[in-house]
Amino acid sequence: MKIIRTIEELQNIRKTITSSVGFVPTMGALHDGHISLIKQAREENEIVIVSIFVNPTQFLPGEDLDAYPRKDEADKKICEMCKVDYLFMPEISTMYGKEEVLIKAPNKSYMLEGEARPGHFDGVLLVVLKLFGLTQPTNAYFGKKDAQQLSLITQMVKDLFLPINVVACDIVRENDGLAMSSRNIYLDQTQRKDALLLSKSLYTAASLIAKDERDTKTIKNKIHEVMEKLDVEYVAIVDREFNEIQTIELNNCIILIVVRFGNTRLLDNIWL
C-alpha cells in the first residue's frame, strides 16, 4: 500500500492506471462499516483507493471538527489489512485554497439533515467532487446510513454527467444492533445502552409494515413511543427522492431517525 499526501502525486499515479478503480472516501476513525465498503471495493475493482480527510467545509460553527476522532496509525493498518492499493491522506491546505469555486446543493438538501445543519451538504458535495476529480473512480462506495448524503451525491453524479457508478452499501451494525459510527465513541455507558432504542424503533416499524400497516403517521407514532425517553430530533418517512410520503411504498421508502445524546447526533435508518 502506498500513502499519498499531495495532489500531484495522486494525479501522476492515476494517469498510469488503466484498469477499474474502486474509491472509498472516509473521514478516518475506520470501523467495520468502513471495512465493509473497502472489502466490497476490493472484490469489484482492480485498484482500490481510500481517502482519509476530515473535511472542514461540512462542519458548522460549534460542531466537533477539532474533536472529531482521528486514528491515523490504526487506519493505515486497517487499510493495509484490506489490501488497499493507495491511501490518500491530504492536509486541509492541500485540498483548499484561499478562494474556492463553490458547490450549491439542491433545495432538498435543506430538509432533514440540512435543516439541522444548513450548508453542511454544500461542503460534502464540494469535497466529494474534488476527490472524484482526483481519483476518477469507476465505482465509488458509500454507506446507506448517511442516506440523504448518498442521495445528493448520486444526484450530483447524474447532474454533472460524471462517469462514475455510485454504489450504495448496507448499514453495518454492532452485535446489539447499534449502527456503526465514528461518533459512537462519544457515548457514555448509559447513552450507549439507550442508543439501542434507535434500531429497536426501526425494527418495530418494520414489524408493523410486515403486518400490512401502511399509514406513515401511525408508524411514526410507534417509533416515537419506542424512543420516548430520548431526545429525538426528527423521524421522517420519505421516498428515495426524499419526498415525505403519507403511505408506505415498498421498495421506494426510507425511514430515518436522528437522536441527540448531549452534543452527539446519531443517525439511523431502514430502507424498505
Classify domain 182-267 by CATH number: 3.30.1300.10
Each residue's pLDDT tens digit, 16-25: 999 999 999 9
Q: Which one of the listed residues 31, 34, 120, 224 is annotated catalytic? A: 34
Does 126 score more than 90 pLDDT?
yes
Percentage above 70 pLDDT, the chain: 100
Q: What is the mean pLDDT of residues 48-61?
A: 93
Q: How many CB atoms lie within 10 A of CB 56?
A: 14
Half-sphere exposure at residue 3, Cβ-oriented, CA atoms within 13 angstroms: 14
**Lowest-confidence segment of 118-122, 207-211, 256-260 by average pLDDT:** 118-122
pLDDT, mean over the chain: 94
Q: Please tell me what DSSP assigns to residue 11.
A: H
Residue 18 has φ and ψ, to the nearest 5°, of -115, -5
Q: What is the mean pLDDT of residues 53-69?
A: 86
Does 167 score more than 90 pLDDT?
yes
Q: What is the mean pLDDT of residues 256-265?
A: 92
Residue 64 has φ and ψ, to the nearest 5°, of -95, 40
User: 3-state DSSP call for residue 102?
Assistant: coil
Classify domain 2-169 by CATH number: 3.40.50.620
Nearest alpha-carbon partner for 51 in 19, 12, 17, 85:
85
Each residue's pLDDT tens digit, 86-112: 999 999 999 998 888 888 999 888 889
Percentage above 90 pLDDT, the chain: 82
Ordered by start, the domain boundaries in the chain are 2-169, 182-267
Does 127 score more than 90 pLDDT?
yes
Sorting pLDDT into bands at 50, 70 and 90, what band is 263? confident
Enter the pTM of the model: 0.92
Does 67 score more than 80 pLDDT?
no
- Clarify whether 34 is annotated catalytic: yes
